[in-house]
Structure 1
Amino acid sequence: MDAQTSTDLIMRAWREFATQDPDRIAAVFTPDAEWLAPPDNPTARALDGTSHLIGRDRIVHFLATEFPTIFVADRSVDFTAITATDTTVVLEERMRATLMNGNHYDNNYCFIFELRAGLIHRVREYMDTRRAEKMFAAGTATDRLLHADRLAEE
């Protein structure tokens, strides 16, 4: 692959992530893919999960099933920079959404994608965890549970 093909793969991957269709998401990852995010980040904590997702199936489950329970509405992504080689893509973006607690989420990210055989093999995710923590923490635990219950009823 060349740099343009690598960039095209990542842009396609982001479109597939947005569909929340497990088969379409799975199609962009190697079977042994990994996704590494900052340890103890607010999203992982909200899901009682881990910051290191191992295997395509686990990553797909996160993107198709778990992610939408945390970032519940108004999700948008603005790409601010992208740099690529034949096997690595660095993507900067700004993500906005409504969180499960009703708060507005607005944070900047940097992703480093390592590619293998035309697929994503490893993702290293960086974000402002302190900023995210503030957006996740606002509101009481009771408010968050009530909001989650309302979403489950819909």
Structure 2
Amino acid sequence: MSTSKNRALIAQYFDVILGHDTSRELADFFTADVTWQVPGSNPHITPNPRVGHAAVMDLLHSGVGVYEAGSMTLDLQPLIVADAHVVAQFTLHARLANGDPYTNTYCFVFALRAGRICAVTEYLDTLAQAQQGTWDALTT
């Protein structure tokens, strides 16, 4: 796929995540053999990486209850595209399920194949994540 199509795919992915685009299901973005790697300092994501469509969808859906519904916004920086890779830097703002505010900066490196995401490497400040209570929400 062209870099412009790869950029558009990831832009649409974020629009679907935020509920701004309902024309496509989240599951449709991923290949059957997709992998998702998070920082090893997050003890709640096991196994890490997640491998396979079902495992990645489980990972994505497991975080839904951490945040108050409808509270998530992203300050997405311009996407960086190189061949079949797209880098997305963003700041996530949300309220946790208990009402406390949450803000963290993320960087996702997406690998694409045939118009779908085949791998994601996620970077974030896991200390800030833990200090703001997201890990508490995962254990309750």
Q: What is the TM-score normalised by the length of structure 1?
A: 0.76
Q: CA deviation at 1:136?
A: 1.4
- 1:14 is matched with 14
Instruction: Name the CA distance, whole Å, in 2 between partners of 1:101 and 1:50.
Output: 27
In structure 2, stretches of 5+ residues that fail to align are: none
Task: Indicate the percent of aligned positions where both proteins have the same amino acid.
Answer: 28
Amino acid at match of 1:96: H
Q: CA deviation at 1:25?
A: 1.1
Instruction: Name the CA distance, whole Å, in 2 between partners of 1:80 and 1:38.
Output: 21
How many residue pairs are counted as aligned between the two chains?
135
Relative to its length, the structure with more helix (as a share) is 1
Secondary structure at the aligned position of 1:110 is classed as: strand
- 1:152 is matched with none
In structure 1, stretches of 5+ residues that fail to align are: 149-154
Provide closer, same or farther for how the CA distance between residues 50 and 135 of structure 1 changes in structure 2, counting only shifts above 3 A: farther
Match of 1:92 among 77, 89, 94: 89
Deviations 1:29-84 (A, max 9, x none): 0000011010142xx62xx7444221112222332x31211122311111023110
Q: CA deviation at 1:101?
A: 3.8
Q: Radius of gyration: which is bigger?
A: 1
Secondary structure at the aligned position of 2:129 is classed as: helix
- 1:60 is matched with 57
Secondary structure at the aligned position of 1:81 is classed as: coil
Secondary structure at the aligned position of 1:72 is classed as: coil
Secondary structure at the aligned position of 1:94 is classed as: strand
- Mapped contact 1:113–1:121 kept (Cα < 8 A): yes
Runs of 4+ deviating beyond 3 Å: 48-51
- Mapped contact 2:18–2:73 kept (Cα < 8 A): no
- 2:28 is matched with 27
Q: CA RMSD in A?
A: 2.5
Q: CA deviation at 1:13?
A: 1.4
- Mapped contact 1:40–1:50 kept (Cα < 8 A): no
Match of 1:80 among 62, 77, 80: 77
Provide closer, same or farther for how the CA distance between residues 10 and 66 of structure 1 changes in structure 2, counting only shifts above 3 A: same
Instruction: Name the CA distance, whole Å, in 2 between partners of 1:18 and 1:33.
Output: 21
Instruction: Name the CA distance, whole Å, in 2 between partners of 1:98 and 1:107.
Output: 12
Instruction: Name the CA distance, whole Å, in 1 between partners of 2:79 and 2:54.
Output: 26
- Mapped contact 1:113–1:122 kept (Cα < 8 A): yes
Instruction: Name the CA distance, whole Å, in 1 between partners of 2:51 and 2:103.
Output: 27
Provide closer, same or farther for how the CA distance between residues 133 and 112 of structure 1 changes in structure 2, counting only shifts above 3 A: same
